Amino acid sequence: MFWIILIVLVVGGAVFAAASMKGKQQAFVDMGDVTGKTINEIIAKVGPPSSVSAVGAGEELYQWIETNSAGGYHYALLFKDGKCEGYTHQHAQ
């Protein structure tokens, strides 16, 4: 009985993780063109980024990254003076 419960929990967790990841990927797709949007507008749609880096004068790179057994995604958006310049990297599987 223990093994059946364990298998159900593992499979259920993997299914939930895959669904959650696909939801985030779809949120990026649903945003369409991100050029000119503020970081607050983007966070409202896709949630907080995984990391933020200063990359130049007035420029910041915001990244959303997730990997698990179901696949993964990596979206990187460049912002200059508070407005999105666009994607520097998009990958989902």
Per residue in 58-82, pLDDT tens? 999 999 999 988 789 999 999 999 9
- How far apart CA 55 and CA 59 sit, in angstroms, is 6
- Helix%, strand%, coil% for the chain, nearest 5: 40, 40, 20
The confidence score (pLDDT) of residue 3 equals 43
The confidence score (pLDDT) of residue 1 equals 58
pLDDT score of 87 more than 50? yes
Per residue in 22-32, pLDDT tens? 688 999 999 99
The confidence score (pLDDT) of residue 68 equals 86
In the chain, the domains with their CATH numbers are: 2-92 (3.30.1450.10)
Residues near 36 by Cβ (< 8 Å), separated by ≥ 6? 83, 84
